[in-house]
Amino acid sequence: MSAPPDLPPLVRRALDISRDQGFVSSTRNETGRLLASLAASRTGTMAECGTGCGVGSAWLRSGLRGDARIVTAELDHRLAEAVRVLFDDDGRVEVLQADWTTLRGYAPFSLLFLDVREAKQQGPDLITELVEPGGVVVLDDFTPCEGWPPMYGGRVDNVRQQWLTDPRFTTAEVMVAPDASVLIATRR
């Protein structure tokens, strides 16, 4: 996995860690650019569920402004430690070696990036309490869907349907690449 030359240096370093760790499931650059853009519009505390090798966190950090900060949780000790080293000199990013549910103690968030399958599948019921009113939740790793109800693999995509219809959120599906989309949900 090589990084295009126009990536922020921190993102390049996170992609290097990902390659070195043999971790092939990191935030796509298209999603990362969206995360950086959204982070630039937020204040307060942002969070990521599922740090991996820090690619999503690096994209969020590249958009951070003012005194905003990021807290990110990764269950795998080895990965969490590698990302701690990545952000070692950055007092605005806190890396937790913990289950994603530990983030409850840091909530509410102005932006929450859900990059853990279990967190996505919990649906809005559990996630709502983690996000401040007007806060944004970003869920990635969807395949674009043009019809209703949303389908994936010949079945109704219940996760996507829950988020798109929950009255506590205004949610849109945004295609970031021909084969990838994200959900952006703003808490009402």
For each of the domains in the chain, give its residue range(s) and CATH number, in order of start. Answer: 9-187 (3.40.50.150)
User: What are the helix (H) ranges across the chain?
Assistant: 9-21, 29-40, 55-63, 77-86, 117-122, 124-127, 158-165
Among 86, 77, 81, CA closest to 57: 86
* 145 has pLDDT over 80: yes
Give me the mean pLDDT over the 128-152 stretch: 94
Name residue, tokens 């043009």: 146
Strand 69-74, strand 93-97: pairing: parallel
DSSP letter string, 40-75: HT--SEEEEE--TTSHHHHHHHHH--TT-EEEEEES
- Measured CA to CA, the distance from residue 89 to residue 127 in angstroms comes to 30
pLDDT of residue 1: 47
Residues with Cβ within 8 Å of residue 7, at least 6 apart in sequence: 15, 29
CA–centroid distance for 77 within its chain: 19
- Measured CA to CA, the distance from residue 2 to residue 19 in angstroms comes to 9
Digit-coded pLDDT (tens) for 107-124: 999 999 998 878 888 889
Digit-coded pLDDT (tens) for 9-48: 999 999 999 999 888 778 999 999 999 999 999 999 999 9
